Amino acid sequence: MDYKSLDDKTSTIISNLQVLNNNISLLKKKILTINNVNSKLEKNKILKQDVNNNLIFQSSMLKNELSYYSNIYNIILQKYSKELFELADYILIILVSLNKLEIENSDKKKSIFSKIIFTKKFTKKSSGNLKQLFTGIINNLKVVDEFIQLFNKYIKQIKNQNTDKNLHSDNFEININYKKDIITIEYKKYCDKFLKTINYFMNCSNCVIDQIETSKLLNFFLKLKLKDNVEN
């Protein structure tokens, strides 16, 4: 598995979520600014602001955009977190079952399994927690891969021993070979699922950012002009 590529794609997803969150913050600030300006104008007793004015309309439109993008952010974060948590749990189940296998070189086996990262459930979902969860999955997949290599070495030793010492233990050889194949299939299954999950959410989050960057509606109601950044 290309771990570097997965890491780059995950960084893109997290970066996109941060851009989306920043856009939400901009919307909140702009709405607050508009409401403050409108409130000040309404207090002007001489130069009255029209009841049906464009500031109120602008604020309403931006509130609608705020609700829309906030929902998108929460839905993506919730779904992506759930997918990663499920993968993390399945991989841990595999590792626990592998740890029960009795093979030689117990010190090496103990060393491999000491590298396991146990997933901690977090109530507040954030891009930082997603990165931590992703790192744990990558680490544990590497642990599974290490064990498969150790298992292959054990199988080779058993075959050589049976051949050298003329031991008729064909059935045991068949059993451990099938067990290794099952482990390998499970490993590849969750590697493929992990890869598909990362690709899916990278494409999804890219589409959201593209929508933000090309939205004429946001540009019309949200974008700040230079004079808007000057304090009075």
pLDDT, one tens digit per residue, over 176-230 is: 888 888 888 988 999 999 999 999 999 999 999 999 999 999 999 987 553 444 4
Res. 231: pLDDT tops 50? no
Among residues 2, 70, 71, 60, the alpha carbon closest in space to that of 31 is found at 60
Average pLDDT over residues 11-29: 93
In this prediction the pTM is 0.81
The predicted pLDDT at position 124 comes to 74
The H or E element spanning position 170 is: helix 170-214
Q: Which two tokens stand for residue 25?
A: 């913050």
Q: What is the mean pLDDT of the chain?
A: 85
Burial status of residue 131 (CB atoms within 10 A of its CB: 0-12, 13-18, 19 or more):
middle
Res. 97: pLDDT tops 90? no
Res. 31: pLDDT tops 90? yes
Tens of pLDDT, residue by residue over 73-87, are 999 999 999 999 999
Q: Which two tokens stand for residue 175?
A: 């059993």
For residues 219 and 216, give the distance between their C-alpha atoms in angstroms, rounded to a whole number.
Answer: 5
- Report residue 6 CA to chain centroid gap: 11
Give the distance between the most distant pair of CA atoms in the chain: 107
